[in-house]
């Protein structure tokens, strides 16, 4: 990948973007390597290696959880869900930022949504609504499509790309539940790198690009994705896919052993000559205290770097 020419953008780092919860999500407590969350009406316990402190709530509150993930504590490790109080189905309805979708119990302890992304989704929704025309949004590694639905509901034309046939199916289910089937969303089952390389050759452009790549993944035809090997090329191509008056490019990385400054410097070099501002740091989720003496502690979840034109 050749070095880009021109001055580097303005920069701001470190930046902490905080999710304090939503009517559809709350971080109730954390500690001793676990977190207690509420997704809609469902209370969930999942492993959380970064919760090094003691739990604040009593065991009686944790025992009220509807679902507990047991198994490999590694982020990509497989396991199973235990339902201590009553049997639950695989999915349940949720609502975030005014959009309906299904929460889901997966074998990788995920729930079909990453709530720390609420800060990026809120930013994107505001940018889309303020735009003078229907902006084009590219959502790479789009998973179950919550970000795509929020963008489409706000008025964007969305291209959603994921390598998992199951995730694409979940995204379409979510679109039906949200009653957004009349909105322009293209659901693309493809390897992310192959897709953006083709888009680059076609000369297609986007106003907002969201990319939340895993540290390791496989495409539908066995293509291998390694974050540290492929991220620089991916980001460089994404730059070429930005429209001349683009709004922004958002990169997040979940559960990797790296500094946000690594992502920050990569974004700064990638966006040379584009002007604008690069902000980088961490996404955190703030606990919602249930008692006056409970501290509203913050749990770090992801690294991010965001370039914006204005």
Give residue for tokens 């005014």. Answer: 98
First to last CA, the chain: 27
Report the pLDDT value the prediction gives residue 278, as an integer from 0 to 100: 98
When pLDDT is cut at 50, 70 and 90, the band that residue 57 belongs to is very high
Task: Kindly report which listed range (135-144, 247-256, 277-286) carries the lowest average pLDDT score.
Answer: 247-256
Q: Which two tokens stand for residue 104?
A: 């889901």
Q: What are the backbone angles phi and psi of residue 279, rounded to the nearest 5°?
A: -115, 135
Asked whether the predicted pLDDT for residue 256 surpasses 80, the reply is no
Q: What are the backbone angles phi and psi of residue 285, rounded to the nearest 5°?
A: -115, 130
The beta strands (E) that lie in the chain are given as 10-19, 25-31, 34-39, 42-47, 67-71, 79-82, 91-96, 99-104, 136-140, 157-162, 185-189, 208-211, 216-218, 224-226, 248-254, 277-286, 298-308
Q: pLDDT over 70 for what percent of the chain?
A: 96
> Structure pTM?
0.94
When pLDDT is cut at 50, 70 and 90, the band that residue 72 belongs to is low
Domain range list for the chain: 10-22+111-308
Q: Which residues contact 262 (CB under 8 A, 6 or more apart)?
A: none
Report the pLDDT value the prediction gives residue 144, as an integer from 0 to 100: 93
Structural fold of domain 10-22+111-308 = Rossmann fold (3.40.50)
Cβ–Cβ < 8 Å for 69, 78: no
Q: CA 15 to CA 253: how far, in whole Å?
A: 15
When pLDDT is cut at 50, 70 and 90, the band that residue 259 belongs to is confident
Q: What is the mean pLDDT of the chain?
A: 93
Q: CA 298 to CA 30: how far, in whole Å?
A: 9
Report the pLDDT value the prediction gives residue 73, as an integer from 0 to 100: 53
């Amino acid at each position: 990948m050749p070095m880009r020419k021109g001055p580097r953008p303005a920069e701001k780092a470190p930046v902490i973007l905080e999710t304090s919860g939503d009517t559809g999500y709350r971080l109730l407590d954390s500690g001793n390597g676990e977190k207690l969350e509420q997704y809609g009406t469902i209370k969930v316990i999942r492993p959380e290696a970064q919760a090094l402190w003691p739990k604040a709530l009593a065991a009686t509150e944790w025992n009220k959880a509807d679902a507990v993930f047991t198994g490999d504590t590694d982020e990509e490790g497989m396991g199973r869900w235990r339902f201590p109080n009553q049997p639950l189905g695989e999915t349940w309805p949720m609502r975030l930022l005014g959009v309906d979708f299904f929460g889901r119990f997966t074998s990788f302890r995920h729930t079909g949504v990453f709530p720390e992304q609420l800060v990026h989704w809120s930013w994107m929704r505001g940018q889309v609504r303020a735009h003078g025309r229907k902006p084009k949004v590219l959502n790479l590694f789009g998973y179950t499509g919550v970000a795509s639905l929020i963008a489409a509901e706000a008025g964007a034309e969305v291209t959603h790309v994921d390598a998992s046939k199951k995730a694409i199916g979940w995204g379409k289910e979510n679109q039906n539940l949200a009653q957004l089937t009349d909105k322009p969303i293209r659901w693309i089952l493809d390897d992310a790198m192959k897709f953006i390389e083709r888009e680059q050759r076609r000369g297609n452009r986007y106003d907002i690009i969201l990319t939340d790549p895993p540290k390791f993944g496989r495409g539908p035809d066995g293509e291998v994705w390694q974050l540290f090997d492929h991220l620089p090329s991916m980001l460089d191509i994404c730059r070429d896919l930005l429209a001349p008056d683009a709004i922004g490019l958002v990169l997040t990385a979940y559960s990797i052993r790296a500094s946000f400054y690594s992502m920050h410097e990569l974004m700064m070099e990638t966006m040379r000559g584009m002007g604008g501002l690069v902000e980088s740091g961490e996404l955190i989720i703030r606990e919602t205290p249930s008692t006056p003496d409970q501290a509203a502690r913050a749990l770090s979840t992801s690294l991010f770097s965001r370039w914006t034109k204005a």
